[in-house]
Amino acid sequence: MLRLLLLAVLCCSAPALIRVPLRRERSMRSRLRAAGLLHDFLRDGSPDTFGRRYAPCLPPGTPLQLGRSGERLHNFMDAQYYGEISLGTPQQNFSVVFDTGSADLWVPSSYCVSEACAMHRRFKAFESTSFRHDGRMFGIHYGSGHLLGVMARETLQVGGLAVLNQEFGESVYEPGAAFLMAKFDGVLGMAYPPLAEILGNPVFDNMMAQKAVEEPVFSFYLSRSTSSTDPESELLLGGTDEALYHGPITWLPVTAKGYWQIKMDSVAVQGVSSFCPRGCQAIVDTGTSLIAGPTNDILSLQQLIGATPTNIGEYLIDCVRVSSLPHVTFVLGGTEFTLTAQSYVRKEVLGDKQLCFSGFQAVDILSPEGPLWILGDLFLTEFYSVFDRGQDRVGLAPARHLAPARHLAPARHLAN
């Protein structure tokens, strides 16, 4: 009996592959547009309206202050893919964006005073027997709002996997339309520890330290549609699923351990090398809906694909012309990752009219290595993505719903 009991304990605590289903929802941008709030959101925001700014952690006793900021990543408003986690004992469930562009875990607190919190599930610390109070404060400054909260520790459950003593934030103040209309409750960051504002190990670091996963690897499959023929979107903790991608994985070394930052060889439009021909830096970011880049490059790119600006910062494309628009190719590790217009044009219905929007966004993020591009969900729905903490590298391969020969090829010489 004792042998069987020990075997059961070992089986329950053994490293595992954990699948976390992800749901795709209509983007926050389209929700705000339909509600007539997008113009006000863009007008009232800072110049980098979709920019995400984090304030340093404040020592105990320091009054909460708005506007303390240091540059981080962006486009929180358009995040679409989210899954379920639980915190506490007994478990309290929350929906979170699994975000490779940040490293903190936070959910709304039951003490939150904002209207946005009333629209979402809130963590009730007083109902959990495993809750550990911290008391330190943190602040995050968004382009059109602020997030303030206090830190704590708790037992976290992700896809049936338990993470003990996990540091996380309880938000107590969430102004702004982005939080009010978001379908998700909070964010679970999956970037490197230097990006964290909440002191302590990020979630995946704790998973590795507690030997909860088979390998120090996680991977994303982001479905492009709700079609029953496509596999459901998912995050896989502890490895990769070969059934969800075609061909070999292209591996790209991480160049700076904060974001999942890699070197991009160039960006080409219809086979002509148009941007960063001598190489530039890019971030692979599941928390960003679009593809972003330096303002000058993106404005030129919008012209090359025939996108015209609107008075609220959107770029429209004539839906009739989509089939004739040029391909846009990102060369990474000597391999071409090509997006057709069907991939980079977002079609949305407003009333009885269909509108087509460019999937490229101008965002200026500087780094010691130069301006950064951001490969967000629009790119990652086309390519299966693997994040390897063991060897500090990112892997990309054509997702299963694609024809591999059409979207991926060895890099050829591109004309200047």
Give backbone dihedrals phi and psi of 176, rounded to 5 degrees, phi first: 105, 150
Q: Measured between alpha carbons, how far is 273 from 22 in angstroms, rounded to an integer?
A: 35
- How far is CA 111 from each of CA 115, 117, 153, 184, rounded to the nearest angstrom? 12, 9, 16, 18
In this structure, are residues 282 and 373 in contact, taking their beta carbons and an 8 Å threshold?
Answer: yes
Catalytic residues: 99, 285
Token readout for 228 is 């029953």
Q: 3-state secondary structure string, the chain?
A: CHHHHHHHHHHHHCCECEEEECEECCCHHHHHHHCCCHHHHHHHCCCCCCEEEEEEEECCCCCCCCCCCEEEEECCCCCCEEEEEEECCCCEEEEEEEECCCCCEEEEECCCCCHHHHCCCCECHHHCCCCEEEEEEEEEEECCEEEEEEEEEEEEEECCEEEEEEEEEEEEECCCHHHHHCCCCEEEECCCHHHCCCCCCCHHHHHHHCCCECCCEEEEECCCCCCCCCCCCEEEECCCCHHHECCCCEEEECCEECCEEEEECEEEECCEEEECCCCEEEEECCCCCCEEECHHHHHHHHHHCCCEECCCCCEEECHHHHHHCCCEEEEECCEEEEECHHHHEEEEEECCEEEEEECEEECCCCCCCCCEEEECHHHHCCEEEEEECCCCEEEEEEECCCCHHHHEEECCCCEC
Q: What type of residue is 248?
A: P
